[in-house]
Amino acid sequence: MRQNWIAVACAEHALRGCAVPAHGFMQVCHGKCAPLKRVAPGDRVVYYAPTVTMGGQDRLQCFVTIGVVQPGQPYAFDMGGGFVPFRRDVVYVPAQPAPIAPLLDGFEFVEDRKRWGDKFRFGLFKVSDHDMRRIAQAMGADLASLCFS
């Protein structure tokens, strides 16, 4: 059964994952492997970026990339300087950034509007088809490319 995931990273880092279209990838939770093992081939993933840069004060609060996880297991990738995070391959679809604020009241995962950001602290969490479809539509992504019927 296909699942839907929201991953969290600054926009700068999320966009690196789709910079080379034929070689898209995702990294979560500062490169940890365990969270990526919960994600399966065929799952949809969208990146939410609270900021433009890591640790920055440059608030963005947008969904920035969306795609489908590809076959294979998480793998280590040497980024240099001793940093070897784990990744999964993803095919990203063309999409535009979409602010989260106008979507908040329609999300099933938001249980308390005043504390909507709590789940994002996990770095990766599941959402319903309904919520993923809303995000994809707000981003102008092709629903067929994301395997929505």
Beta strands in 52-133 (DSSP E): 59-69, 75-76, 86-92, 98-99, 124-127
Q: What is the pTM of this model?
A: 0.94
The pLDDT assigned to 23 comes to 84
Q: How far is CA 39 from the centre of its chain?
A: 11
Note the pLDDT tens digit of each residue in 81-129. 999 999 999 999 999 999 999 999 999 999 998 999 999 999 999 999 9
Q: What is the CATH number of the domain that holds 124?
A: 3.10.590.10
d(CA 48, CA 45): 10
Beta bridge partners of 30: none
Nearest to 3 by CA among 127, 142, 131, 146: 127
Residue 145 inside a domain? The answer is no
In a domain, residue 83? The reply is yes
CA distance 144 to 30: 31
| Domain presence at residue 31 | yes
Q: Give residue 118's domain range.
A: 4-139
Query: How many distinct structural domains can be found in the chain?
Result: 1
Residue 58, pLDDT score: 85
- Report whether pLDDT(36) > 90: yes
Model pLDDT, residue 28: 95
Residue 116 is assigned to a structural domain of this protein: yes
Distance CA 33, CA 41 (A): 15
22 vs 46, more confident: 46
Residue 106: what pLDDT?
A: 95
Domain contains 146: no
pLDDT of residue 1: 87
| Lookup: tokens for 121 | 């602290």
In this prediction, residue 76 carries a pLDDT of: 95
Q: Is residue 59 part of a domain?
A: yes
Is residue 148 assigned to a domain? Answer: no
Q: 149 lies in a domain?
A: no
Please report which confidence band the pLDDT of residue 57 belongs to, taking 50, 70 and 90 as the band edges. Answer: confident
Yes or no: say if 106 and 134 are a contact pair by the CB < 8 Å rule: yes
Backbone dihedral region for residue 42 (phi beyond 0: left; psi -120 to 50: alpha; all else: beta): left
Residue 140 banded pLDDT, cuts 50, 70, 90: very high
